[in-house]
Structure 1
């Protein structure tokens, strides 16, 4: 559930197909998200999942799997 919704958010923000977003995908390397994309994705995650992502934690969210775990741990 979380992963599928996250796939939609990331694909929408980056203009890619949802199938390209995998648990092991690195946001910056594999999906080519720049720093503004990451901020936009984080803001959408905060709104969609009702979580707060402190700016110091943004750098630790490297893969889609990292983001899923963060959401699960902070919901």
Structure 2
């Protein structure tokens, strides 16, 4: 099974039409990956869908979403909410 990082990379690359190699932990969605505000909303929704399952529902509030500005911030948020590589 893919790691959280790999899953986040795949989502970001798909939604922002960038190469997965560009989706580094320190990459800023807006500055480095050229996302706009609509792209960010789509990313948040994709993270919620990808990482929710029958046992866990991931919900990212607008306030939390404002703090998710980099790939690592997304991974950290997911980890803090029970998502792991298991």
- Both structures adopt the same fold (TM-score exceeding 0.5): yes
Q: Where is the helix percentage greater, Structure 1 or Structure 2?
A: 1
Alignment of 1:37-48 (within 5 A): 37-48=39-50
Q: What is the total number of aligned residue pairs between the two structures?
A: 75
When Rg is computed on C-alpha atoms for both structures, the one with the higher figure is 2
Gapped runs of 5+ residues in structure 1? none
TM-score normalised by structure 2 residue count: 0.85
Match of 1:10 among 9, 12, 20: 12
Moved runs in structure 1, 4+ residues, more than 3 A?
A: none
Aligned to 2:63: 56
Give the Cα separation in 2 of the matches to 1:57 and 1:18: 24
TM-score normalised per structure 1: 0.97
- What is the DSSP-based 3-state SS (H/G/I as helix, E as strand, rest coil) of the residue aligned with 2:73? helix
What do you get for the CA RMSD once the two structures are aligned? Answer: 0.6
